[in-house]
Each structure stands twice: as C-alpha cells, then as structure tokens.
Chain A
Amino acid sequence: MKALRKFIDKQKPHFEKGGKFHWLGSTFEGIETFLFVPNTVTTKGAHIRDAIDMKRVMTVVIIATLPALIFGMWNAGYQHFLSLGQTADFWQNLGYGAMKIVPIIIVSYAVGLGIEFYFAQIKGHEINEGYLVTGMLIPLIVPPDIPLWILAVAVAFAVIFGKEVFGGTGMNVVNPALIARAFLFFAYPGDMSGDKVWIAEKADTYSGATPLGNALVGNFDHFHSFTDMFMGFIPGSVGETSTLMILIGAVVLLATGIASWRIMLSVFAGGYIMGLLFNWWGANQYMELPAYYHLVMGGFAFGAVFMATDPVTSAQTQRGKWIYGFLIGMIAVLIRVFNPAYPEGMMLAILLLNVFAPLIDHYVIESNIKKRLKRLKVVANS
C-alpha cells in the first residue's frame, strides 16, 4: 500500500492547479479518495469526526441491493429457460442472467459516472458518490432484455436533467433512477411495457405477462400464486420480482439506520390500506384482489425499500415522512387498479410525491413555526 501511496503522491502535482493534467483534477481526486481516505484534518468546529462518510453510506445501500440483484440474475435465466420449456440448473440460470445483466450494469455505471466526472471537472468539484447507488438501482428496475443503447440514452438523460442541472447529489428534486425509468417508459414504450419484454429472449408462444399485466386485463385464471410473487419466480424488472430478497435488503438498510423505517412502513401501510378499501368497494375482480397481493406484485416492494427512501428526494421531516410514504403506497395502488394505460403505479406515485415532498415539509415546518409564534403570544398577553 505504501508503494501505491508513494506513486499517488508523486503524480499528484501534475493534477493540481498549474500541473499539466490539471483539467483532470477532479478525476484524479476521485480515484485517490476511492483508494485512500484523505489525510484531511478538522480545521473548524468539532475536532473529532465520525468514521462514516458518503462513500460508506452509499456502499451500504449497494450491499443492500445485492440479494435482489443476484436473485434477479438467477430469475432472468430461470424465466428464459422456463419459457423455452427447458430445465436448467442453478448455475446455468445464474450464468445466463449474468450475461444479460452485467452489461446493463456496466453501461449504467460507465455512462452515468462518465457524466458525473465530466460535470465535477467543469465545476471544479469533488466527485459525488450519489451515482454509485443510482447506477446500481437503474439496472434493477429495467427489463433484462433492454437494448443497451436505449439504456445509455436514459441514463444520460437522468443524470443530466434529473440531477446535474439542479447542482448534483443532494440538490435534485426527483429520484434520478426513476427519471431514467420514466424516460424509458414514455420514450420507448415498446421496450418497456407489454407482455414481451419481461423475459429475456422468450419463446413467442409463451405468455410473458407479469402479474400486474394479467391483473390489468382481468386475466385472473392463470394468476401467479402469492408464494411465487413473494419469492420472486415471476417475470418482471431485474430486481423487483423477489419481495423476500428486497426485504433482506431492507433489513440491511434499517439495521444500519441508512434508510428511514418511517417511509418504508408507511408506504406498505398506504398500499395495504388502499387495497383494503378496494376490497370493501369490490366493483371488479381487480378490486377484490387480496390487499396484501399488492405489496408483493410489481415494483411495490422495491420502490418502497430503495426508491421512496432516497433521503434527498423524500420528505425530510419526520411527520412529513409518514405522510409522504403513506401517499406513495395509496397512489401506487390507485394507479394500478384504475388507470388502464399503466399496469404499474409505483414509479409514477414516487415521482409525484418526490415533487410534493417539499410541500409536505413546508406544512410540517409551518406548524413548528406556528407553535413558536403561539408561545410568543402567550408570553406577550400574560
């Protein structure tokens, strides 16, 4: 390690101001701080600091996505061979899935990080770690058969217009990973919806409909069982199918305290209660679907655990988080059941509430301000 450190110290002057590669300064800095936690010491304020930094926070989120990712790879292979009527063992399934999904991850990171580095460079900033998570989330919410060039366009759009124009990580209004997905959804609907895209290279005769797709057209005769949906043996986006794996990720996020349990709990509660309301109404077969089915179908669990909990785009006050999460759950199920065009409502529900989160916070904070003014008035009148 010492030799590496020495090498970096020797190269450093070339990348600093006045050096011949100064235009690559942020990139060099990004690589250096990736390898070594810098030797910066506290100069102002508290003299000691917590060992945690943004890289650590982001790493924990990435670790939390791994169960869903690995299962997603296996499931991509499993669904593919199932549609062909072939049987394959665990490693064949996983290997096939990896061949499909690893390129997606590579494209996602290469395009996204490339843009991040470029923007950091022209702004003269350090490189933000935010994309480390976004770059992992995007492959998990796209179909395994997504054309890579379309993915690259979507990632570029999301990073530039979803994040960088607002000032980078911490400043964005809506979740960049969902921006990428929304872009794909509206710009390339043929590659993002319908019954054909959810299984990689499936046989034409085999129905590749997701549970949500079946539910929307009222096909409840060949509906997947609750166990299949919970375990994830269903077609769908790469990381969304297995509620079990997502819950393992949720445990990691909650145990480390990185994600808000308030948001997760309230999203599930909102979805469940909306499902119950529909059960009670019961105007059609979809409404009569048991409420807990909604929690394991489609991207509901993935959205609740990994998307809604993004601290930058969610509500920031504690009470705001309850309201925010609850509305996401309710609106997601509402869109699923009522909107004939969109089988899945989670993406749209989260994007909508991302936009409304500052408003929710505004009213929560307003009540804090009112309380303070009231105390002032009580004193003034006494």
Chain B
Amino acid sequence: MSTIYFVKKGLDIKLIGEAEKTIVDLDAKRFAVKPPDFIGCFPKMLVKEGDPVKAGTPLFFDKYRENILFTAPVSGKFVELKRGAKRKILELIIESDGKHESIDFGKADIASLDKAAVTEKLLKSGVWPLIRQRPYSIIANPDDAPKSIFVSAFDSSPLAPDYDLMLKGKEKEFQAGLDVLTRLTAGNVHLNVHKDLNGSDLFTNAKNVQVNTFAGPHPSGNVSVHISRVDPINKGDVVWYVDAQDVAVIGKLFLTGEYDSSRVVALTGSEVMKPKYYRAHIGANITNMVVNNINGDNNRFISGNVLTGTKIESDGFIGFYDSQITVIPEGDYYEFFGWALPGFGKWSFSKTFPAWLSPNKKYRLDTNLHGGERAFVVTGLYEKVFPFDIYPMQLMKAMLVEDIDLMENLGVYEIDAEDFALCEVIDPSKINMQEIVRNGLEMMRKEMS
C-alpha cells in the first residue's frame, strides 16, 4: 500500500445539489473552444467562419508558442467567432454534424515511441493543451523536461464529480494514457487518489505509475497540494499535470489514432432539479442540460465548481478543463441588519454565526458577497484552510506591491490561484484573492520569460 498523505488544514463546504450517480447522453448541437480558458494564450486564427471541421482540425495557434495548436473537439462546421472588448476572441463556435468524426492521426505502439514522437502526435492532434505545467498553470512547454507528471484522480471541491464513475469503462484508454505520459518525463508519473473519494481499482491497479493516496478535506485534491507533499517544486523546476479524464483522451489518441474529446460532465448545484452526469464532449453547449431542469430564473451558471469555476450564460459552453457545471442562485438582494442578527441558517466558517452547531448541514448558498471589500485586517485565519508551508497573506502582499524577489522567496512557484479559493471564501475583508494571485503569477511569468 502506498503512503497516505494527510491534509489537515482545509474545509469541505457542504452544499445541496450533488449529482446523482447516473450518466445520460447529452444531446448538444453546438460546441465552443474558448481561448480565455488557456492562460497567456494569444490566438491566431487558422480557419474562417463557414469552414468544415473534423475533430482534430486546427482552429488556431498561440502567437507566442506557435507549435501549440488548438483543434476542434467535434466534427461539423465552424460557424461563429465571438469577440469581446478590444476584439478579444472569446469563443469559436462549432455546429456539430453529430458524427463525431476525427482526423486519423494513426495508431501507435506506445512502448516504441520516444518523447519527440509522442510530443509531435499530441501537438498535431490538439490534445497537447490538456497537459499543463506548474508553476503558472499554463499549457506545458513541449521543450521542457518536467521532473515529474501529476495525474489527479479525484476532486475535493464542493459538489465535485466522482472520478470512479466518470472513468468507468475507460480502463484501457486510461492505462494507455498513463503509458504515454511516462514517455514524457524522466521522473515519475504520480497518480493521486483520495482515501475516501476513490474506491475503484481502476486507479489502484494502474501500472507504470506511482500511486499516492491523500486524505482530508479540500484542498486535498488541488495539484499544488499533491506536488508540495510528493515532489516539491523549487525554483527552476517544472512539473506537468493532467486531469484523469484527459489521460483517457490521450490514451485513445494513441490506441485508435482518433481525437475523441468525449468527457463525462456532472451537472450540480442547489438550483438543478435533477442533478446527474452527462456523457458530453469538451466544450459542449449546456442548454440541453439545463432547460426545464432549473429552479427559478435568477441563477448563476458556473463552468467548474463554486470556488474556482467560470461564470457562463445559461446557453454557454463547458470550459476546456472543466467536467462540472454548477448552478446556484444569484444573491443580488439586500438584507436588513444581516451582519447584526444571529443569522440562523447562514453558512460561515467562523463561529460568529450559529452554523458551527450543525456541522453536517448542507447549504443552499448564493452569490451574495455578504459585505464590502476592506483592507487585510484579520490574521491567522487564512492559514487554517491553507495546507502549505507558505505565508498566504504575506505572499499576497508581496504580489500587491509587485516585489518579484520576495514573491519568489515566499514560495510563489508552489501555488496557484485555486489554492487561495478557500481563503477568499472565508475572508471577512472580502478581498478577491484569486485575482491577486493570478495577476502575481502572470507578472512572475512575464518577468522570468
């Protein structure tokens, strides 16, 4: 049995709306690739509106790293290019022909391939962007030699999807994907599972990888936590990481030569009438999931979870790296003396509300900020949900004053914005910490490149 890494500091926020463990097919007509999903990517278009595409047809490339291609997840027609302010490209919308045909990238015997051959195939098919790197959480640089590769087989965030269920029946592809990853690094491929959240032998029986078991509350599923416990990043190190579902996509590419972007997505959240799993594809439109399946009409649709997800419209698209859609009520209401009344039924990590008396209660939380933004005042609070040997407030202050050396000394390479999500949630000063950290990381990346 592998060693168990206990994560003590953290917090499981218990919400209503966990997905029922059944999978149905999602009938989606439209799909989108959203360049803002890729941090630091500046898209240069390769197709025009109206062009027919197959799964694997290049749509655009990154201006700064021209070898990284982004391809269509399904076959059909590229119908619309959506731009935002300053003509920033927001969405490339593809209308599916329902056939899910892929360009043939050729079968391959994984064991006989070297790193260059594996990399080339992944780049050409557009599967490469599924592999990301730490630090900075950007798409991995094909020329780097990562010291290890991390695969997360669980998600510890609120209402997180069940990986055992999502990968059921994809055993062969998953193992093949792991084998592919072993070709990419001289170090280990680490497969990380959770003591309670994973029960399937799909993961524990995986070969050619090191299986690490984690235990404890969120953020025990965050990649930074895994890396910090198993193989900490030092200055100059690069570690790659891939989501377990995407490992199966990689595996299938080598087994059959197809880019099959299929992905199981969990529809969750308190406002969903029937939360369950859907068999979908990367970038699928969510309309058919949510139509006639949502309570009320003032809701927030999130691609991802409530801590780190992206706000989308009710007819929006699933993000490239997401396998969860969450629907919670908007909180745009006034509350008379909300801060002063006892506040029964309200959720709070602090013990200033009676919520701590019922620790197992599940909550229906909305998007109200519950206060106004203030300067940093409380201390010692963030550390309770931040399981790193890092001073979170001091690091954020270093980011705010743009002190590159201090950020480096305080461990900026070891963290990502998502690691600050819990600090942000429980913060009485209502500071947007993930934004501070994201900006800090981007500043660091630009400074170091």
CA–CA, A352 to B381, complex, Å? Answer: 25
Report the interface size class on chain B.
35 or more
From B367, which residue of chain A is reached at the shortest CB distance? A41
> Residue of B at shortest CB range from A30?
B372
Question: Do the beta carbons of A45 and B351 come within 8 Å of each other?
Answer: no
Interface size on A, residues (CB 8 A): 60
Nearest A residue (CB) for B336 = A1
**Are B368 and A52 within 8 A (Cβ)?**
no
CB distance from A120 to the nearest CB of B (A): 12
**For residue B302, which residue of chain A has the nearest CB?**
A47
Q: Which residues of B contact A35 (CB under 8 A)?
A: 336-337
CA distance A329 to B378 in the complex (A): 22
Contact A57 B352 (CB under 8 A): yes
Cβ–Cβ < 8 Å partners of B435 in chain A: 44-45
B380 within 8 A of A: yes
In contact, A41 and B377 (Cβ under 8 angstroms)? no
**Contact between chains at B370 and A51 (CB < 8 Å):** yes
Asked if B64 is at the interface of the complex by the 8 Å CB criterion, the answer is no
Please pick, from A49, A129, A258, the residue contacting B425 in the complex, using a CB distance under 8 A: A49
Contact A130 B350 (CB under 8 A): no
Establish whether residues A376 and B235, one from each chain, have CB atoms under 8 Å apart when the complex forms.
yes
Is B335 in the interface zone, CB < 8 Å from A?
Answer: yes
Of the candidates A33, A50, A126, A368, which one forms a contact with B350 in the assembled complex, judged by CB atoms under 8 Å apart?
A50
- Expressed in whole angstroms, the minimum distance between the Cβ of A291 and any Cβ of chain B is 28
Give a binary string over B188-200; 1 marks a CB under 8 Å from any A CB, 0 the rest: 0000000000000
Contact with A along B87-104 (1 / 0, CB 8 A): 000000000000000000
Count of A-B contacts judged by CB separation below 8 Å: 211
- Among residues 1 to 19 in chain A, which have CB atoms less than 8 Å away from a CB atom of chain B? 1, 4-5
Q: Which of A189-241 contact B (CB under 8 A)?
A: none
In the complex, whether B30 has a CB less than 8 A from a CB of chain A is: no
Nearest Cβ distance between residue B240 and chain A, in whole angstroms? Answer: 18
B246 to chain A, nearest CB (A): 24
Q: Are B369 and A49 in contact (CB under 8 A)?
A: yes
Q: How far is the CA of A91 from the CA of B58 in the complex (A)?
A: 85
Mark B279-312 against chain A: 1 for CB-CB distance below 8 A, else 0. Answer: 0000000000000000000001010001111010
- Chain B residue at smallest Cβ distance from A5: B334
Q: How far is the CA of A379 from the CA of B147 in the complex (A)?
A: 12
Is B300 within 8 A of A47, CB to CB? Answer: yes
A72-80, A138-146, A311-319, A333-341: which lies at the interface: A311-319
Distance in angstroms from B353 CB to nearest chain A CB is 6
Q: Which residue of chain B lies nearest to A9 when distances are taken between CB atoms in the complex?
A: B334
Residue pair B380, A316 in contact (C-beta under 8 Å): yes
A124 at the interface (CB under 8 A from B): no
What chain B residues lie within 8 Å of A50 (beta carbons)? 347-350, 370, 425-428
Those of B326-349 within 8 Å (CB) of chain A: 326, 328, 330-340, 343, 346-349
Residue from the list A36, A47, A255, A312 in contact with B377, Cβ < 8 A: A312
B432 touches A55 (CB 8 A): no
Q: Are B421 and A369 in contact (CB under 8 A)?
A: no
Binding site for A on B (CB under 8 A): 13, 232, 234-235, 300, 302, 306-309, 311, 326, 328, 330-340, 343, 346-353, 355, 365-381, 383, 389-391, 393-394, 409-411, 417, 421, 424-430, 432-435
Closest 4 CB pairs of A and B: A53-B371, A170-B375, A37-B338, A45-B434
Of the A-B pairs whose beta carbons lie under 8 Å apart in the complex, a sample of 18, sorted by A's number, is A36-B334, A37-B335, A38-B372, A41-B369, A44-B432, A45-B432, A47-B306, A47-B367, A48-B13, A49-B368, A50-B350, A50-B426, A51-B348, A51-B355, A52-B428, A53-B370, A56-B371, A129-B374
